[in-house]
Amino acid sequence: MAESEEEVDVLVQRVVKDITNAFKRNPNIDEIGVIPCPEARCNRSPIVLVENKLGVESWCVKFLLPYVHNKLLLYRQRKHWLDREALVDITCTLLLLNPDFTTAWNVRKELLQCGVLNPEKDLYLGQLALTKFPKSPETWIHRRWVLQQILDQFLAVSHNKTQEQQGEAEQPNADSSRQLSDHLTRTLHQEMRVCSDAACRYPSNYNAWSHRIWVLQHMAKGNGKVFHDELSSTRLWVSMHVSDHSGFHYRQFLLKELITEHYQTSASATINGSSQHWSSTLPSSGPHQHSCSQTNGELSGAEAANEDDRQLSFTTVLQLFQQEIELCSDLIQSFPGHETLWSHRRHVFYLLNQWRREHQCSSRGDNNSIHLNDCDPGMSEVSPQSYAGREESVNGQNHASEPMELDRVSLPNPHDSKRLKRGVLLPGTPTLTSEHSFVNSILDSCCNPEQRRFAVAYKKWLDTVTGLQS
């Protein structure tokens, strides 16, 4: 099908227009694709719009793409002028066909910067491109640039507001700052969805998961609740994608962040009431009736409360680890032979132990160090922490929870006892012993050769870890 240059020109202009019009007609387009169609059918547009899906018939791509690509390059080289509208349309077409064409994204950056384009438009365009090209590195990179623009705007606005408020003794404009922060929250959640969709479309989609991490690092700094929520909301996903290494790595990141939060909370708890923020993000593992409504600066009686906060968050983090190991065990048993699950277990167990050791070191320097291989949750003599109010059954005896106050009174050195308590493990906390017994139970019952291999390797690794830590 030999097309003359003019014919191609006309065809392409028409296609670009059809695409633009399709978006105008239907603002809810949520997916793009190429329709396998080797030949054009009598003068019909190659652009097909069905149920919110935008398709381009494959026959026209070989005309369309080189043509628009060329046009944009000529524009860049200042050999050919394109007005802003044309630029928007052409880059849109280009990026839907090839989102790794950096130049096109850069042209859009310029348009954004001079106010011609709304950043939301680029987020939408990127989202569409990702439905067909879920890994596209340039799309993710551009997305981060756009988000950074949005964040900068937000910061600028709230900074201005504070200045205004300081300048005049006016009531703070609570409404609009609420609006801004709602907007940010919505953007955050949208990003989580985009990442999740892309992760579904391509296995172990490193770029999507990395982006997800970036978003949390930049848009959810210090917000423990978001990390907790992400941990719960990805739980089902990873259970249905047991060989998706990137998905599990994301959970390792979340756990690490929660540990860091815990440290920061502990460190600053006595300085100001920032613990209040942390305790408000606790998951509902039991009734925490806790007097944590401390505002900045109130130190009287805050000491005790902050101490409780630290204990609370310690317990919480420990529980998270425990749950993660349990999830891992569950999946390993249900779906034998996936290396990802064993790899995840290593990471989690290692993190847990590192954190526990550091925590023990920082809270009291000396003896009574709980060696990992000594620790048997079943033989603990000290009453277990039960801030959740539940009664732990240890060695068949029920130990009721003991309020902190009593301990402080009964023992000669209250601080020692608290430190001691902090060093004690909750029953059920993974230890070297329990890990060995888990591996052995797998080896005893499994007949999947891969599973066997991974279990043996894990056993060896456990021994190495003991070596490093004793």
Residue 439 Cβ vs other proteins, minimum distance, rounded to whole Å: 15
**Residue the block writes with tokens 């080797």:** 38
- Smallest distance from the beta carbon of 445 to other proteins, in angstroms? 6
- Site residues (CB under 8 A) for other proteins, limited to 208-227: none
Is 148 near other proteins (CB under 8 A)? no
Element (H, E) at 237: helix 235-239
Both tokens assigned to 221: 């700094």
Site membership for other proteins, residue 297 (CB under 8 A): no
Q: How far is Cα of residue 106 from the mean position of the Cα atoms in its chain?
A: 27
The residues, ordered by sequence, that sit 6+ positions from 91 with a Cβ below 8 Å of its Cβ are 72, 104, 105, 107, 108
Q: In terms of Cα–Cα distance, which of 158, 88, 82 is closest to 124?
A: 88
* 332: number of Cβ within 10 Å: 24
Q: Write down the least CB distance from residue 337 to other proteins, Å.
A: 9
Decide if residue 131 touches other proteins (CB under 8 A).
Answer: yes
Q: Which residues of 339-357 are buried (b: 16+ CB within 10 A; e: fewer)?
A: ebbbbbbbbbbebbbebbe
2, 114, 447, 468: which one contacts other proteins (CB under 8 A)? 447
- Report the residue from 213, 351, 443, 446 that binds other proteins according to the rule CB under 8 A: 446
> Shortest gap between Cβ of 242 and other proteins (angstroms)?
6
Tokens (6 digits) for 445:
């019952």
Angle between helices 5-25 and 84-97 (to 10 degrees): 90
Binding residue for other proteins, selected from 114, 240, 379, 406, defined by CB under 8 A: 240
Note whether 288 binds other proteins by CB under 8 A.
no
**Integer Cα distance of 175 and 308 in angstroms:** 34
Size of the site for other proteins (CB under 8 A): 31
44-52, 68-76, 82-90, 144-152 -> range binding other proteins (CB under 8 A)? 44-52
- The residue within the footprint of other proteins, chosen from 334, 362, 393, 410 (CB under 8 A), is 334
The distance of closest approach from Cβ of residue 207 to other proteins in the complex, given in angstroms and rounded to an integer, is 18
Instruction: Give yes or no for residue 241 binding other proteins (CB under 8 A).
Output: yes
Between CA 395 and CA 189 the distance in angstroms is 45
Q: Which of 109, 121, 132, 399 binds other proteins (CB under 8 A)?
A: 132
Residue 392, SS3 per DSSP? strand
Q: Please report which helix (H) or strand (E) contains residue 271, including its range.
A: none
Taking CB under 8 A as the criterion, the residue among 22, 29, 37, 443 binding other proteins is 37
Q: For residues 59-118, which are near other proteins according to CB under 8 A?
A: none
92 or 130: CB nearest other proteins: 130
Question: Smallest distance from the beta carbon of 44 to other proteins, in angstroms?
Answer: 15
**Cβ-defined contacts of 256-263 (< 8 Å, 24+):** 256/351, 257/216, 257/227, 258/224, 258/227, 258/228, 258/231, 258/317, 258/320, 259/317, 259/351, 259/355, 261/222, 261/224, 261/227, 261/313, 262/313, 262/314, 262/316, 262/317
Tell me the closest approach of the beta carbon of residue 91 to other proteins, in angstroms. 22
Contact between 364 and other proteins per CB under 8 A: no
Asked if residue 188 lies in contact with residue 215, where contact means CB atoms within 8 angstroms, the answer is yes
Under rule CB under 8 A, residue 445 binds other proteins: yes
DSSP assigned state of 51:
T
The reply to whether 31 sits near other proteins by the rule CB under 8 A is: yes
Query: With respect to other proteins, which residue has the nearer C-beta, 33 or 428?
Result: 33
Instruction: Supply the minimum distance, in Å, between the C-beta of residue 93 and other proteins.
Output: 17
Contacting range for other proteins; rule: CB under 8 A; set: 20-28, 30-38, 177-185, 368-376: 30-38
Secondary-structure breakdown of the chain: helix, strand, coil percentages, each rounded to the nearest 5: 65, 5, 30
419 contacts other proteins (rule: CB under 8 A)? no
Instruction: Establish if 202 lies at the interface with other proteins (CB under 8 A).
Output: no
- The contact set with other proteins (CB under 8 A) reads 31, 33-38, 48, 50-51, 53, 55, 58, 131-132, 200-201, 203, 240-243, 333-336, 338, 445-448
